[in-house]
Chains A and B, each alone.
Chain A
Amino acid sequence: AQSVTQPDIHITVSEGASLELRCNYSYGATPYLFWYVQSPGQGLQLLLKYFSGDTLVQGIKGFEAEFKRSQSSFNLRKPSVHWSDAAEYFCAVGASGYSTLTFGKGTMLLVSP
């Protein structure tokens, strides 16, 4: 079975500082990996996805993520955080032969002035 771990429940970052949100997955073969963002009172919006190919993936809003097979990780990064990035972020994993995505428990990002 596939699983996802987001080790950090909350993270606080100063506006303008860099950001890295951690995601570790468990799956034997090559996974399909996703990062979603949920702003307060909103649904989930896809930031980026990895299916195959280049392990560094660019997404919307200046986010990127890097797939590292050796570490079973898919960490989300942004070089300079804006106050509007405050939200909850979810990592999800899917895979060939599995019908559904499995989500992590989320990381809440707080941005301080």
Chain B
Amino acid sequence: DAGVTQSPTHLIKTRGQHVTLRCSPISGHKSVSWYQQVLGQGPQFIFQYYEKEERGRGNFPDRFSARQFPNYSSELNVNALLLGDSALYLCASSLDGRLGQFFGPGTRLTVL
């Protein structure tokens, strides 16, 4: 069975640019969550979507936005990139957005 997939694997951008990260959940899962993990820290919650509706938002600026598509895949968009946005961005999928969140391999974003 395919797990959670994310693309791209790695990304290098410069300050002020925009980035789009993509995630495909496990087949049958209807919820996708996004997390940011800075080196040496645990993941921090950014967004959760369930059935294409936003269910939760973490303490991140409006430069961060996301959406979920009818096939339950999701995009995370970050505008006006800052050096501090450099991190591993993780996508997690679950059946209903509660217990049992399964993570993808992540997208490593470097902002220069």
Is B one of A's binding partners? no
